[in-house]
Amino acid sequence: MSDEEREERELDLTSPEVVTKYKSAAEIVNKALQLVLSECKPKAKIIDICEKGDSFIGEQTGNMYKNVKKKIERGVAFPTCISVNNTVCHFSPLASDDTVLEEGDLLKIDMGCHIDGFIAVVAHTHVLQQGPVTGRAADVIAAANTAAEVALRLVRPGKNNKDVTEAIQKVAAAYDCKIVEGVLSHQMKQFVIDGNKVVLSVSAPETRVDDAEFEENEVYAIDIVTSTGEGKPKLLDEKQTTIYKRAVDKSYHLKMKASRFIYSEINQKFPIMPFTARALEEKRSRLGLVECLNHDLLEPYPVLHEKPGDLVAHIKFTVLLMPNGSDRITSHSLQELQPTKTVDDPEIKAWLSLGTKAKKKGGGKKKKGKKADEAANEEAKDENSQG
């Protein structure tokens, strides 16, 4: 086998080394989330907490793979964001921003880490208060959490992306909440945070995606955002946008010196992963970013808002579709919730009762083109060899 073929083959979960890198990235991002949560206190500045999250990921990944011959890229795969109450996502302010957390705020923490381009992302929702969360805040978090649990059970080989879209909307409705439009769950590959296979959060005429079937050895970021409002968020202020990703397939000869300076800095420091404008030379960045954005060299991650008074919850996790079942590698336990609604729908209950590990007798469905019993035997061998 040539080196190229070997490289090609080792990029998915059939390689134990790849699985290890995913799990190492997940371990770091889970710890980073724990750290960020511990820093979330009334009157704490959001910018300070975001920087601590990013620094922790940088330090922890920096300690790994130090002595290897070939340099291994590693670090932040998605900058730490803390979006409060009716703010939906991507709030990761610049150093000059003085926004602080307040008692009773409902916070969404969103972050990602990668090792050698193998990415683990996580998002978690927390209310800044003592004691159990009640009322509509509990409903919206329970809706996101239950939808995430259902999605975990439906994102499995042989199932279809449409099934997941319909299911999570049904779960949100059971809590009298809406799934927020425009959120996509993406397949992830090495150095690709937003792969082509996606799950729509809400099926709408204006957002169409290709039908796709989940397959063994794929990795997904399952992204669930729920709202007590309409679930149709708006961009209120473009100046709030601070997270961007280089559009790798676009090129343009920039006219302004400031733009060329910033773009070359982005190419060097953040050729592939999303980054925060905080990490650029701030004096020049605002000016230079505008021209880069106008010519589609960067993809912005806008800060979106529901209406004031609406509450938004966010749960995101990374799942590896291993031969022996689905392995959710990023998560954090929730506070005690006392929602006003209970789920009585038999279909939702049936989804939640599904296991996440593959059963031997189900092997025939997964391995197309083989007789069911042969496939089951293969699967049994797989499980024995892993055990």
| Predicted confidence (pLDDT) at residue 383 exceeds the cutoff of 70 | no
Non-local CB neighbours of 105 within 8 Å, separated by 6+ positions: 84, 85, 127, 128
pLDDT higher at 365 or 132: 132
Q: Transcribe 26-47 into DSSP letters.
A: HHHHHHHHHHHHHH--TT-BHH
Closest CA to 164 of 140, 147, 177, 180: 147
Of the pLDDT bands very low, low, confident and very high (cuts 50, 70, 90), residue 264 is very high
- Mean pLDDT throughout 237-248? 92
Q: What are 51-66's pLDDT values in tens digits?
A: 999 999 999 999 998 8
Write the single-letter amino acid at 147. A
Whole-angstrom distance, CA of residue 366 vs CA of residue 372: 9
- Indicate the DSSP class of residue 180: P
- Mean pLDDT throughout 121-138? 97
- Mean pLDDT throughout 43-56? 98
State residue 282's pLDDT score.
67
State residue 359's pLDDT score.
63
- Mean pLDDT throughout 209-218? 92
- Mean pLDDT throughout 112-122? 97
Of the pLDDT bands very low, low, confident and very high (cuts 50, 70, 90), residue 375 is very low
Pairing mode of beta strands 304-305, 312-322 = unpaired
Helix axes of 161-174 and 346-353: crossing angle, nearest 10 degrees? 120
State residue 81's pLDDT score.
98
Q: What are 317-356's pLDDT values in tens digits?
A: 999 999 999 999 999 999 999 999 999 999 999 999 998 8
Q: Supply 40's token pair.
A: 């979330």
Whole-angstrom distance, CA of residue 168 vs CA of residue 159: 14
- Mean pLDDT throughout 225-253? 94
Residue 356 backbone phi and psi in degrees, to 5? -110, -5
State residue 248's pLDDT score.
87
State residue 208's pLDDT score.
76
- Indicate the DSSP class of residue 157: T
pLDDT higher at 359 or 25: 25
Please provide the average confidence, as pLDDT, over all residues in the chain: 89
| Predicted confidence (pLDDT) at residue 6 exceeds the cutoff of 90 | no
Whole-angstrom distance, CA of residue 376 vs CA of residue 341: 41
Pairing mode of beta strands 133-134, 337-338 = parallel
Nearest 5°: the CA angle 223, 355, 362 is 110
State residue 378's pLDDT score.
38
- Mean pLDDT throughout 24-53? 98
